[in-house]
Structure 1
């Protein structure tokens, strides 16, 4: 049965929520006894998971987990005016929901505390077992694999936010308080359960279940994501204890999960079904991603059905509270495949926007507009999710095209794409080789992953602008970046750089910092470039001179006594209305200051005090997250 990802399950299947997280009634007897008749019924139920987990760009003004507006800006790529967003600094009064909807906990880019979605998937598992005679063996195995996939997804996300969480094998009965109020299980116990479900999924899910449905390759791609996260978490957090005081991170589990990440990624890579056949830009602004060879799963938008979103309209302007900083800009490779400080690319040390789009990896051109834009609080405008034509019109007129303003965007959103799979794969292989006796990464491995990405076709606008593809990474001559952390091997450093260039505003960065044990990057006082934007010649680019873009005119006059630039020698100049000729340098983000001090406990979130008290009132114990 063909469907779009915005389809929702029939209301007859939705469960009413009660005040306790797991205290909710069963499906009505009449519906339940007659519903699980075959694949059609199960598929209808499963459709209800799609909008929960594959949010894409959201719908209308609902953008949980969507780029830009859905929680993707909390990471070291971005700087806002004023004080930077903080981590939690105290236990919340309450944290929990009985709703099946997912809200984004932006400090972890994951869900909040709650198990309604686990309850929903456990109903599916229980009913498949109860009505097993209604299905062939192949049908049963496939749909059980689908159920396990969504359970894998939810528990991987919950563990990523909270660490230890209660694991519920089956649905919880209304009066089974011992199970409803069970304490948290160790993250290793939960992730070992997830691992076992991953094995079942890879062995039993159909390779094809209809256009744009979850299938073996989609599931394997997500498994590579979840297992890479947990494998690297186990490595870099080795020796950490859980709520029970026992060690729940070790090298044995790190190796196990990383090997699963490699295995799952290879299911996709060896299928021959996917390739890098479109430009980076086309992945995010196409009106229809059907047939795009890089995209495994996407969310479709359609004006005729009034299924629309605003992400293209707001992906880089004043409405997004933070934008990329100079430190992020400097992390981009030049076209010779090297970081700017050791690059031989002409203009490598020129950080004006007009030069950056011509000399950096082509993804820079496809992600950022080629001129300074005062609508961005760092002066560099991200247009990754809007078309070149939309921005060109905006710059020439100061207005937006009708379908690129408000909630009237209809470009499709890639949910899972090949680039993530191959980058998960090469990182897992590199970690296994570095720390766990795995085979050394070869040039062939690099060619199938990083270099395959770099060989993507250029967008039409990039070709017209003279942008060149980035040189291949050579295993025998990995760049020696002077900024590399001493505890990160050179190859793994370059893999991390590739992820950073590829996944801007897709929610990956903060999760990467969490799993790599690198939250210290969020302390902006360790790198002053995080308070700066690109190099700007304000009289020419945002003044009153002829040729100044319409959107930037007269900006300087509105910032007398406020506008500041940092010159090449490190000195800072403030605009006083009479020194315009001196206003050339790195833009100083207005009033930008560091976030509040944070500690190691910020790697995992606390549960709410109210939830702990509710357990206690019932005679049970809910452990608080370690160090909280």
Structure 2
């Protein structure tokens, strides 16, 4: 208990965002960091940096929308409201400076590895948002005026340090923590996140014709391949619907989930609100997303005659099994229930998510107890395939150890590289117009298809569109938010049993059906009384989207003032300052 109190005093001394603060209590660094317990206690705070389900599961893009579209789509980012914190970076560097107090070399190496992982994680997030940022690998004192007013470092310099930190962390961290399963960072966690970071930087550069793209893509492939060959992680394949079960499990599936947030309301008093938010925010998928799913025989849904106006009961049939494990379809029965749940069109665009939906005990706010996957082996497989495809070095064997493992889990046919490249999908070409022409265009599009459906609602889609330079695709100024197709006023069978379940009417209901939807009140249709359900039909997002400006966030104006202009502003953002 004494050690916990001492650590608490130290943490209080560093609770400010000011990088120049020093501890003002009686505990000094030389009195702490002496034991494994000290190091572990200090590094536990770093785990709060990891993303959380309440944020990630509700990030809107081109695949999903809800009541609150978010600052990027709504265009509400500004230098005046933007803020950043560097407190955790100081805490990370502080440990790295004083961990030498501990004579236990194994413990020192292990927790240095934890700190290096989180420094890389911290800076990768900063680079994704701001581009160039100042790099600090030491704590800063109040007299370090030059460092306190340091300008931004080039993003390439920072990302090189990020990848080095991930690599060094992987070399120091253990391969597993037997008693905590997948809730602690390990060697494999470091390699997996390194593949994510390197792929982001490589594709960001490639689709902007920036130097260094190939080097980062090669690094992404190498990190991912080391993980694939040596980690022992596979895919969860249990049950009749393994993909669905993976995401509502109270205990993360350790075969696949490399790092997870653990939730346990009864024991740990920790919970999330993902299930509540899906319903309360009316989260719904777009038809653009639904169209990504192949037919179960591997053929393209968008090659089917009349796919554009196909009704719900027809478009849901004979598709990739992951569709009905992600979207409320024809045969959905909630966990713990015996009767099917019908699609009542209350979700935006008409397609309601069931990914992450557990039993009804999780329906309320802060009632979710399913563990949250922060990194899955599935993503590493996809990172590997994409990096190799973008490099132009992809082989069929590469696909077999990556994408085709995902397809096998879903009982889908293999992706064949030669077939994909000889006949690129026109629908995917329209979704991703910036994919470069070339021999690998078709397979790049197919890998994006796989990533889109496999990783949906896991917090990556908006970032993917950013790195691919396709963000206009998530703004209805360019692409309307179209959903389920309604042929017109009338009664509809929503589960394919031949009996009407839902009435769509214009002014007056004429049936006794339990589910009734009124046009121009409950739903808006693209052709008035028929057509696609339209999300936000009276609001336009993205009319002033600027590629030079909006792919980065603005540097906070107050930080520019504090540094007297040493921190430059990102192009296109106006903060009213003269420097």
What is the TM-score normalised by the length of structure 2?
0.83
> Alpha-carbon deviations, 1:72-105, whole Å to 9, x = none?
12x1113457999635467422532xxxxxxxxx
Q: CA deviation at 1:294?
A: 1.1
CA distance in 2: counterparts of 1:309 and 1:340, whole angstroms: 35
**Greater RCO (Cα-Cα under 8 Å, separation 6 or more):** 1
The structure-2 alpha-carbon separation of the partners of 1:294 and 1:592, relative to structure 1 and needing over 3 Å to count, comes to: farther
Does structure 2 conserve the Cα–Cα contact (< 8 Å) formed by 1:310 and 1:408? yes
Q: CA deviation at 1:470?
A: 2.2
Aligned residue pairs, count: 527
- Secondary structure of the structure 2 residue equivalent to 1:586: strand
The structure-2 alpha-carbon separation of the partners of 1:195 and 1:297, relative to structure 1 and needing over 3 Å to count, comes to: closer
Q: Which one of 225, 229, 235 corresponds to residue 270 of structure 1?
A: 229
What does residue 528 of structure 2 align with?
573
> Alpha-carbon deviations, 1:201-221, whole Å to 9, x = none?
233322124433211011111
- Secondary structure of the structure 1 residue equivalent to 2:426: coil
Does structure 1 conserve the Cα–Cα contact (< 8 Å) formed by 2:272 and 2:368? yes
Q: Establish whether residue 445 from structure 1 lines up as the match of residue 398 from structure 2.
A: yes
Q: Which 5+ residue runs of structure 2 have no aligned equivalent?
A: 330-341, 505-511, 574-579
The structure-2 alpha-carbon separation of the partners of 1:560 and 1:43, relative to structure 1 and needing over 3 Å to count, comes to: closer
Does structure 2 conserve the Cα–Cα contact (< 8 Å) formed by 1:17 and 1:23? no
What does residue 336 of structure 2 align with?
none
Instruction: Compute the RMSD of aligned alpha carbons.
Output: 3.2
What does residue 569 of structure 1 align with?
none
Task: Please list, as runs of the form range in 1=range in 2, the aligned pairs for 1:302-321 lying within 5 A after superposition.
Answer: 302-305=264-267, 306-315=269-278, 317=279, 319-320=280-281
Q: Which one of 64, 72, 76 corresponds to residue 78 of structure 1?
A: 64
Task: Please list, as runs of the form range in 1=range in 2, the aligned pairs for 1:373-452 lying within 5 A after superposition.
Answer: 373-387=344-358, 390=359, 401-433=360-392, 440-452=393-405
What does residue 104 of structure 2 align with?
135
Q: Establish whether residue 454 from structure 1 lines up as the match of residue 407 from structure 2.
A: yes
- Secondary structure of the structure 2 residue equivalent to 1:587: strand
Q: Which 5+ residue runs of structure 1 have no aligned equivalent?
A: 1-6, 58-62, 97-112, 239-248, 391-400, 434-439, 459-468, 567-571, 575-582
Q: CA deviation at 1:549?
A: 6.6
Q: CA deviation at 1:563?
A: 4.5
Does structure 2 conserve the Cα–Cα contact (< 8 Å) formed by 1:283 and 1:414? no
Q: Establish whether residue 223 from structure 1 lines up as the match of residue 168 from structure 2.
A: no
Q: Which one of 277, 282, 307 corresponds to residue 245 of structure 2?
A: 282
The structure-2 alpha-carbon separation of the partners of 1:194 and 1:81, relative to structure 1 and needing over 3 Å to count, comes to: closer
Q: CA deviation at 1:135?
A: 2.7
Q: Establish whether residue 190 from structure 1 lines up as the match of residue 158 from structure 2.
A: yes
- Secondary structure of the structure 1 residue equivalent to 2:142: coil
Q: Establish whether residue 476 from structure 1 lines up as the match of residue 418 from structure 2.
A: yes
Q: Which one of 602, 617, 628 corresponds to residue 550 of structure 2?
A: 602
CA distance in 1: counterparts of 2:572 and 2:5, whole angstroms: 40
Does structure 1 conserve the Cα–Cα contact (< 8 Å) formed by 2:17 and 2:87? no
CA distance in 2: counterparts of 1:325 and 1:8, whole angstroms: 51
Does structure 1 conserve the Cα–Cα contact (< 8 Å) formed by 2:207 and 2:467? yes
CA distance in 1: counterparts of 2:69 and 2:266, whole angstroms: 43
Q: Establish whether residue 621 from structure 1 lines up as the match of residue 541 from structure 2.
A: no
CA distance in 1: counterparts of 2:68 and 2:167, whole angstroms: 48
Does structure 2 conserve the Cα–Cα contact (< 8 Å) formed by 1:275 and 1:294? yes
Q: CA deviation at 1:53?
A: 1.1
What does residue 30 of structure 2 align with?
33
Q: CA deviation at 1:548?
A: 2.3
The structure-2 alpha-carbon separation of the partners of 1:19 and 1:264, relative to structure 1 and needing over 3 Å to count, comes to: closer
What is the TM-score normalised by the length of structure 1?
0.77
Does structure 2 conserve the Cα–Cα contact (< 8 Å) formed by 1:533 and 1:586? yes
